[in-house]
Amino acid sequence: QSALTQPASVSGSPGQSITISCTATSSDVGTYTYFSWYQQYPGNVPKVVIYDVSNRPSGVSDRFSGSKSGNTATLTISGLQAEDEADYYCSSYSASATSRVFGPGTKVTV
Amino acid sequence: QIQLVQSGAEVKKPGASVKVACKTSGYTFSNYGINWVRQAPGQGLEWMGWISGFNGETQSPQNLQGRLTLTTDKSTTTAYMELRRLTSDDTATYYCALIVPADSFDFWGQGTLVTVSS
C-alpha cells in the first residue's frame, strides 16, 4: 500500500497563492500514478477539485490547479479567498482507478 | 441525476458486525464500481476498498482484509459494506463513492456514522 505525505497545514492571506504538495513515498509509486485532490469542509462530504493530476471538474473555480513532477503532485490555489479555508486531501490511484490511497490531509487557513 | 443514498447511523458493541447499504441510482450500475471510504472523528480519509458493479470483483488494502466484505445486489443497484469484529477504532463516518475519473464521475453518499461503544 502506497503512503502519501502532505503538509499538516498551509496558510495564506486573501489574494495570495498557496501550494500543497503530495508525495508518494512507497516503492510501488509506479502503480499509483494518478492524483486527485479533495476539498472538505467540517461535517461535509469531500468534493473533488482536481482529478487525473490536472483536470478540473466543471463548476470548480479555475483558481484551483494541479500538477505533478516525479512522484509529487501539487495543488495550487491562486487568489486565495476566505471560502477556500478547508481541509484538502490528495489521493493517488491506479490507472484503472480500482485502488487508491489518501494522504493525511492539509488544513488551509486563510 | 446520479445519487448514492446510504443507510442510517448505527451503534454497535465491540466485537459485533455492521453492514452499511449504499443505494445507487441515475446510472448503469454494472458499468462502474463503488468505493468505500471512512473517516474517524477529526481524522483523515481512509480508502477501504472497491467493488465492481459488473462482476463483484473487489480490491481492498491488506489491513482490512479478513474483517471486510464488500457485496452488491444488481437487482436493487445497492452496494454493501460489512465490517466484522468491530473495535472502538472503527468508530467513523463511512462513505460510499462512485469515482470514475475517466468519465469525470465523482459522487459520494451522505455518509453513515458507525459508533462502536460498550
pLDDT tens profile B21-52:
999 999 999 999 999 999 999 999 999 999 99
Cα separation of B96 and B2, whole Å? 13
Find, in chain A, the residue whose alpha carbon is nearest to that of B57. A98
Mean pLDDT of B61-81: 95
Please check whether residue B118 touches A, CB under 8 A: no
Kindly state the percentage of chain A with pLDDT values over 70: 93
* Cα dist from A43 to A64, B43, B62, B99, whole Å: 22, 12, 28, 20
Find, in chain B, the residue whose alpha carbon is nearest to that of A51. B101
**pLDDT (0 to 100) of residue B13:** 98
Q: What is the pLDDT of residues A11-63, one digit of tens each?
A: 999 999 999 999 988 655 666 789 999 999 999 999 999 999 999 999 999 99
**pLDDT (0 to 100) of residue A2:** 55
What is the overall mean pLDDT for chain B?
Answer: 97
pLDDT band of B83, cuts 50, 70, 90: very high
pLDDT at B68 over 90: yes
B111 and A45: CB-CB below 8 Å? yes
Please check whether residue A85 touches B, CB under 8 A: no
**pLDDT (0 to 100) of residue A28:** 56
List of residues 6+ apart from B108 with CB closer than 8 A: A45, A46, B4, B95, B96, B97, B98
Please check whether residue A52 touches B, CB under 8 A: yes
Q: How close does chain B come to A16, measured CA to CA in Å?
A: 26
pLDDT at B79 over 80: yes
